[in-house]
Structures are given as structure tokens and as C-alpha cells.
Copies of this chain bind each other. A is one copy, B any other.
Amino acid sequence: PTKFDQLFKKVDELKPDFIDVVAQAVAIPAVSSDESLRPQVVKKAHFIVGQLESLGFTDIQLKPLGIQPPPVTNPNLELPPVVLSRYGSDPNKKTVLVYGHYDVQPAFKEDGWDTEPFTLVVDEEKGQLKGRGATDDTGPLTGWLHVVRAHREAGIEFPVNLITCFEGMEESGSLGLEELIAKEANDYFKDVDAVCISDNYWLGTRKPVLTYGLRGCNYYQTIVEGPKADLHSGVFGGIVAEPMIDLAKIMSTLVDSDGKIQIKGIDEMVAPVTPEEHKLYEEIDFSVDELNKASGSNTALYTKKEDILMHRWRYPSLSLHGIEGAFSAQGAKTVIPAKVMGKFSIRTVPDMDSEKLTKLVTEHCDKEFAKLNSPNRCKTELIHDGAYWVSDPHNAQFSAASKATELVYGVKPDLTREGGSIPITVTFQDQLKTSVLLLPMGRGDDGAHSINEKLDISNFINGIKLMGAYLHYYAESKEN
């Protein structure tokens, strides 16, 4: 039997034990957005440390990230620690950093869960693990530990030096992580050759994928203000210039109902689609029905698979999120808001330049406001930007992961991107100057942030095998 036969057999044997570890981890309600549950988040960090210790990981450190910045109820609230550890430190081996997060989204049975969210249910009939964190990201995070255990118990040499970077604040903006990565880049992380993140999903439910791109996000607000304070529409309606009217006019010029951005100069910044790239979309297993199922509606703007995928992944989009300062409650309030802030964001893609984009956006809004001849004041500003990320999907890491997918699943993976951003991806790439691979374990219908979150047991077990095979193939590859 090959080393893979031995390894995979051991993974299958240990399945009950692996599931038991996930069950123990899921039982800790590590909701990072709930201040009152912060001790549980910390408890889960310690649970992971216990696992790492029993597996022979070394140099285990719980890195403190300091006090959580406002808004918080408790001004002395400590951020959850980042769990750093090593498995092996052989200078002749490559070093792979694996990232995961042990915190989870909130969950209450009353939200509509069929079972207690913090009790892992093993549904043998459906072949699923159900519970908060099963797929996001407790299951995948423990996967790396299971890979180590399987190697140890099968007596197979571990192919790389492994470094773990497990955070407990991902669902709440990864506060403090960027600074930690920058600080450890030439310290704890100094020998890292590659980074692997298992915290996203297959595009659909049938075909494994490797993810090589993420859109960025530039978030803006257009502020229109006039009167000194909110006014009563009975007294002032019809005789003062209303900021909300100006803002509605401006917001209506940003994008059309068919999704076409109306700000001039943006299209010109977008990298053209090459025939080679187009071929990637043609090969992917997806349909408009899957999109409509996911949105729970028939509101898709495109019917062709390639159009949907390209507009999700490689074209910019502009969304209107809402308005701060205006009336937003139930019922009827006859207020003329004095100062309103329209929020919108643009998902960015290669080769859009963030600064140039901001210039185009503000110039557009200024021009549209000028047309209104309004005595109000108007200003548009960037609230934050996160860069897009695209990797070479044929580099050493991706090749190793592709080969591993074929070995485990018997098919070549689809090469996908994501429409959203995982800002930490770019941080790892830029700070550690390494390639980053997104290697999802779960499926597109896992319901990561919804009720009845699940992870198919086959994805869990095959995912562990995939992680192992990827590490071996990457270790064997000539390039980094």
C-alpha cells in the first residue's frame, strides 16, 4: 500500500474520534460578536491548545491582541487570543502556515434551528454534521489537527513543517490580526513558504473547487447636510431644500437596476477577459437555478452561467446599502432629516486602482450634486477599502492541491473565485511574501451563517484526506 493508502485508511478508522473532537469544540458557544460570551471564545482557544499539546505541537503560544476598541459595553474587554503553534521544524522541509478561526456566528434555537445549535448532531441518514461552526470554521480548523493525528498513528512522516494561526475574532472583523501578522512576519512566521486558508466553500454541492481570487471592496458614504437640526415637514416642507431629496437623486445615478455601474471611467480600469480565462468559466459546474435557490427568489440579472460567474467574481459591482440619519423605523415620522449619509460600496477587481476609483466616485457624486443647484452641502468619502486578490491558479500550491483533489475525489477541481473579500488573504500574501491557497472543505449549501449549519461527513473526511495529500504534493514540488 502507498503512503496515501495507509494515510486514508487511518483517516477512515479515526472518523468517530475526529467527529468527537468537532463535537467537543462545537459545544463551546464561541460567539465573538457577543461580549457576554467572550469567556467561551477564550475557553475554545484553550480547548484547541489542549488538542495541540496532545498531538505533540510545540512552541504553542496564545498571542494576546489587547483590548477591543469601541464600540463595546465593557471598555476593558480583551480580544480573543490567536493560537500559534508548530508541528515540526526541519530546515529541510517546507513550512506551511494554516489559518482557521475558532469563533462562530451567533445562533439560537429560536432562530429556527431544528436542533440545539451548540450540540453537534451526527445525522447518519443525511450523512451530515449539524451545529454552529460545523463548516465555518470549526470543522475545517480541526481538520489540520486530524491530518497530524492520522500521520502520527499511521506512522507516516509529516511532509512539511506546519504552523497554525487560529484566530477567534474572524466573524467580528478579525480585529488585531493584521497587526499580529505584520509583527510576526519576520519572527514566528519567518520561515513560512506557503499559506493555506480553509474557510470558504465549494461553489455548488457536487464539485470540489480551489479558490484563486477574491474581489475587493471600496465602501463609500455620500453626506448631504443642510438645516442645523432635523425639521418638521409640516412647518418646513416645501420651503427648504431637503438633504434626503438631494441624496436620493445622487444615489439613483450610481447604478442601474440591471446592475450596470453608471460612474464613468470604471469599466476602463477592469482587466479584459482573455479567451483562456473565459474557458475557466465555461468549465465550471454552475447554473442560474443555483443562484435563484441561494437568493430565494427569481431576481438573477443574468441567465448564462458564464455571465453570472464573471459578474460575481471578475467584474465590479455597486450595491446601495442604506442611509444613516434618515428615518428608518417602522411607522410614520414626519421628519425632514438635516444630515443624511448614503452608504454604498463597489466590489473591486483587477486592475482597478483604489485611489483612482475613489476619485471617479467623488467626482461623479459632486457633478450630480452640482446639477441639482441645491443650497445644501454634499461630500462623498471612502469609509474603508479592502484590496482584491488574485493568485496564479497554476502555481506550486494550486498544482499540489489540484493533484490532491484528483487523488481524493477522482475529479479535477473547478477553479473558482469569490465575490466577497477575505482581507486577511491579502495581508498574508503581502506580509509573508508567499502564495496563498484557499482550500475549501464544505459545500455551497452548508448555511455558514444561517440556521441548521451543516458539514457533510463525506466533505469532512475527504477534506482531511485532501489536506494531507496537498501537503505531501506541495512538499514534493520543485518550486515553492
- Chain A residues within CB distance 8 Å of chain B: 215, 217, 219, 226-229, 231-242, 244-246, 248-249, 251-252, 255-259, 291, 294-302, 308, 311-312, 315-324, 326-337, 343, 345, 347, 372-376, 383-384, 418-421
Q: Contact: B328 with A239, CB < 8 Å?
A: no
Q: Contact: A238 with B332, CB < 8 Å?
A: no
A selection of 25 A-B contacts at a CB cut-off of 8 Å is A226-B297, A231-B295, A233-B345, A234-B418, A234-B419, A234-B421, A235-B420, A236-B312, A237-B319, A239-B419, A240-B291, A242-B320, A244-B319, A244-B320, A245-B255, A245-B319, A249-B252, A257-B372, A257-B373, A297-B375, A321-B332, A321-B337, A322-B323, A322-B326, A332-B345
Q: Contact: A215 with B234, CB < 8 Å?
A: yes
Q: Contact: A319 with B233, CB < 8 Å?
A: yes
Query: Which chain B positions have C-beta within 8 A of A227?
Result: 295-297, 299
> Shortest Cβ distance from A140 into chain B, in angstroms?
18
- Rounded to whole angstroms, the CA-CA distance of A54 and B85 in the bound complex is 85
Q: Contact: B329 with A326, CB < 8 Å?
A: no
- Rounded to whole angstroms, the CA-CA distance of A330 and B71 in the bound complex is 11
Q: Contact: B328 with A419, CB < 8 Å?
A: no
> Shortest Cβ distance from A76 into chain B, in angstroms?
22
- Rounded to whole angstroms, the CA-CA distance of A226 and B377 in the bound complex is 33
Query: Which chain B positions have C-beta within 8 A of A249?
Result: 252, 257
> Shortest Cβ distance from A346 into chain B, in angstroms?
9
- Rounded to whole angstroms, the CA-CA distance of A243 and B185 in the bound complex is 44
Q: Contact: A237 with B419, CB < 8 Å?
A: yes
Query: Which chain B positions have C-beta within 8 A of A291?
Result: 239-240
Q: Contact: B322 with A244, CB < 8 Å?
A: yes
- Give the most central of A232, A318, A334, A421: most B CB within 10 Å: A334
Given the known A-B contacts A317-B237, A328-B322, are A345 and B334 also in contact in the complex, defined by CB atoms under 8 Å? yes
- Rounded to whole angstroms, the CA-CA distance of A259 and B376 in the bound complex is 13
Q: Contact: A373 with B258, CB < 8 Å?
A: yes
Q: Contact: A316 with B418, CB < 8 Å?
A: no
Q: Contact: B373 with A419, CB < 8 Å?
A: no
Query: Nearest CB to that of A292 among chain B residues?
Result: B240
Q: Contact: A295 with B240, CB < 8 Å?
A: yes
